[in-house]
Chain A
Amino acid sequence: GNSVTQMEGPVTLSEEAFLTINCTYTATGYPSLFWYVQYPGEGLQLLLKATKADDKGSNKGFEATYRKETTSFHLEKGSVQVSDSAVYFCALSPQYGGSQGNLIFGKGTKLSVKP
């Protein structure tokens, strides 16, 4: 079946540090890939997405590249801010939906950025 594996947290960084959160996936066909972010007490916000191999999604300084050869979609940011503290979810949308639904999530990575 389809699945997403992302690095366990929590991740603690100092302000202006470089961020990488690893995400790998297993899927049949050609899924779309997403990063969502959840701030404390809120729902999920779409951060970025990529719909085909070699696509790069970017938003608010965050980037991720769809790598089909390594089945990965790692999230990166060159310089994190305190306001980036949140839980980050990697997700895939399978080519064909089913009992897993149209979005399959990783377990989430909690990021804390210290001033």
Chain B
Amino acid sequence: KAGVTQTPRYLIKTRGQQVTLSCSPISGHRSVSWYQQTPGQGLQFLFEYFSETQRNKGNFPGRFSGRQFSNSRSEMNVSTLELGDSALYLCASSLRPQETQYFGPGTRLLVL
């Protein structure tokens, strides 16, 4: 069974631009969570989706948003990029909320 896939793997943007990252969960998994990983803050929870509904949201500004489609694929969007948004963005999927999460390889975003 294929694992979680994330596209693109690497991205370079400039301040003020916006970016969309994509995540395809493991087949049959309906819950998708997003995390931001930085050297200073570690792994921080962004949001969780299940059945196209956002269940939980972490403490990030409104510039960070996401959605989930009927096939469970998810996208996250960051508008008006700031230098501090440079990070590894990880997506994880699980069969249902509160169950074991499996991670993708991440998208490394660099904001210049």
Contact = CB atoms under 8 A, between A and B. Distances in A.
B92 to A, nearest CB: 7
B42 interface: yes
Interface in B37-65: 42-43, 45, 47-48, 55-59
A103 B42 contact: no
A17 B90 CA distance: 32
Given A100-B58, A101-B58, A46 B45 contact: no
Contacts of A45: 103
Contacts, number: 64
Contacts of B102: 46
- Give the size range of A's interface with the partner: 20 to 34
Contacts of B105: 42-43
Contact of A44 (B6, B55, B103): B103
B109 to A, nearest CB: 14
Contacts of A34: 100
Nearest to A97: B56
Contact of A89 (B6, B43, B98): B43
Interface of A: 32, 34, 36, 42-46, 49, 89, 93, 97-108
